[in-house]
A and B are shown apart, each in its own frame.
Chain A
Amino acid sequence: MTDATYSLSSLDVDELATRCREMSTRAQPIALDPCHELFRRAIAHDDQQAWAALYTQYKALALHTGRASHLDPLEQDSLVNETFARFSNWVRTPAFTRAFPPMAVLIATLKKCARSTAIDHHRRWEHQQRVAAEATLAHPQTPQSSGDAVIDALFDRERVAFLRRRLQDDAERLVFTLSWELGFTPKEIAARHADIFPNTGAVYRVKERILRRLSEDPTVQAWNL
């Protein structure tokens, strides 16, 4: 360890945060990185003050990578909070703690974290849109009336397993997965699996068998959309 790293590790978090902020406005990175030291204090010593300084320093980066600059302040905060919560989880795994990673790896990981958080947020939003759209299609006369009954979450494992147990062969399992879990149209399914389905009609035959069985099932009928 050099004298200079000694001097960095002797600084308090406030001083480190100030130097880290100053450094990030310089064109050239310097060899001794106060930002890196902040990461080290936060991760290796679980220093809450260091985490708070990192949050302030890298909030903009998380928002930029998560493409969340257009969100309202509350949503932005929730995205950044979740990003840092994920990040602190990830960097506690042995892959990170065996040898403390260089700055480039920490930043790349934080960016990946921000992106994954944004994607998960987007998926939730997309799901809500989808549920609302399907509910409107399922009840064209009373678009808003089924509000209370709308499924606001995806089917859980038990429901999916329940449905899967009602499938009778490989073709049905394939159509089930491709149609409803992955969202392909029968035309796309026929094109992807021409060996199994010679045309779109062949997909519809399987799909109709599944729909007939499930729509006659009292348990499924009770899952009102």
Chain B
Amino acid sequence: MTATCIDPSEIREGDLAAYADGEADERVRRHVRRCAHCAALVARYAHTDHTLRAGLYRAACPPAETLARWQLHILSPEEELRVAAHVRACPHCQRECMELEAAGDSAMSLLLDHLKDVTSWLVASRTAAPQPVRGGVPPQQRYRTAELDIFVGTIVVQTQRQLRGRIRPPIPGATVWLMPPDAPPRNCQTDITGYFIFPDVPPGKYSLGFAWQGRAVFLRDVDV
């Protein structure tokens, strides 16, 4: 390696790491082209970066078997705490936990396949007492999570059954998935008021999924 940099004033700390990632701006690229010292440093940093990427990626993640045991509450209390702390911080394990939760539920598994970027996942519970809502949503079924209410109902328009619903507080632009038991899923988007509609839905039991910004909510046994 050449002993010194040709002009240290042109380079700031972090520039060479960014260069190694292909993220440096033209000022840095010009410097590295001219400076053998910095070019050699970039090569060293890149090599170390690749070694760390290969050796460390998910090295701290408990095996999926441990995640499954954690869900079944068959870990020791100390292990349980350790896994819980890890899962809170690790989106990869959160995702795998969702896949494990969905293992016994084909609709949920199918939905997960469509929602690759989702890392936060809730199953909404159906509540007994539906509240009337304004805006044309027949108040037949109500689902809740800690933060959301979801109302769904069926309405017949000129012999055609429609499934309509609304998320409150409204989440505009969420993708809504409708999953019939034996047919491919369909999807639509919520409008600015959190309202959505599926036309032409044959009677039956459906699962519904809502996804927005890496989060998803799942509804089971929605009657149409």
Contacts and interface: CB of A to CB of B under 8 A. Distances in A.
Interface of A: 65, 86, 90, 93, 95-96, 107-109, 111-117, 119-120, 123, 127, 130-131, 134-135, 137-138, 151, 154-155, 159-160, 163, 177, 179-183, 185-186, 200-209, 211-212, 214-215, 220, 223-225
A213 to B, nearest CB: 9
B80 interface: no
Nearest to A223: B51
Q: Which has the most chain A C-beta neighbours within 10 Å: B46, B58, B90?
A: B58
13 contacts: A65-B103, A112-B71, A119-B64, A127-B57, A154-B55, A154-B58, A159-B55, A182-B89, A183-B92, A201-B14, A208-B45, A209-B13, A220-B51
Contact of B45 (A113, A119, A211): A211
Interface residues of B, number: 49
A215 B45 contact: yes
A86 B65 contact: yes
Interface of A is mostly: helix
Interface stretch (B17-25, B150-158, B175-183, B191-199): B17-25
A181 B45 contact: no
B46 A138 contact: yes
A209 to B, nearest CB: 7
Given A114-B103, A119-B96, 13 more contacts: A93-B74, A95-B72, A95-B74, A115-B102, A116-B64, A119-B64, A134-B53, A155-B56, A179-B52, A185-B21, A204-B15, A205-B12, A208-B45
Nearest to B16: A208
Q: Which has the most chain A C-beta neighbours within 10 Å: B44, B46, B49, B71?
A: B49
Contact of A130 (B47, B48, B49, B53): B53
A160 B56 contact: yes
A28 to B, nearest CB: 17
A201 B11 CA distance: 13
A200 B23 contact: yes
A205 B14 contact: yes
A50 to B, nearest CB: 22
Contacts of B103: 65, 108, 111-112, 114-115
Contacts of B51: 134, 138, 151, 220, 223-225
Nearest to B56: A180
